[in-house]
Amino acid sequence: MDLEDWVDKPNVVENENGVGDGENKQPDIAAFDENEEVYIRGEAKVGDGDIESEHSVTQYLLFSNRYNSKNKKSSLLFIIVPRNRKKELNNVIVNNVPEKNWKNIKLISSELYES
């Protein structure tokens, strides 16, 4: 996808090969790092059943398998989960995403804060 296309429709990732549930997906966050010239997508997973759902696994598959068509740099996928769910997320990634895509996924754990 060219940067111009990215600006026009940044949040839609086409599921051309019908992986997972076969649906197109929209990340929670979409960005472009101009210095590194890479696309970045982000997902927040917090609820029970959210980490391992077919919808989520399809997101992991689609978002970790993209690249910048101009320089062939792989896109990055950041997934944030509560600290006590990071191991669960890691297991889902290892069991569902091809190993060649693992380098494109950054797992972030956090604490939930209440105001």
Kindly report, residue by residue over 31-53, the tens digit of the pLDDT. 989 999 999 999 999 878 899 99
Contacts made by residues 95-102, CB under 8 angstroms, sequence distance 24+: 96/57, 96/60, 96/61, 97/57, 97/60, 97/61, 97/64, 98/65, 101/61, 101/64, 101/65, 102/64
pLDDT of residue 115: 55
pLDDT at 21: 96
Pairing mode, strands 105-110 and 38-44? unpaired
* Amino acid identity at 92: V
Count the Cβ atoms, other than its own, within 10 Å of residue 32: 15
User: Helix (H, G, I), strand (E, B), or coil: what is residue 32?
Assistant: strand
pLDDT score for 4:
52
What parts of the chain have a pLDDT lower than 70?
1-10, 112-115
CA 19 to chain centre: 14
pLDDT at position 69 is: 86
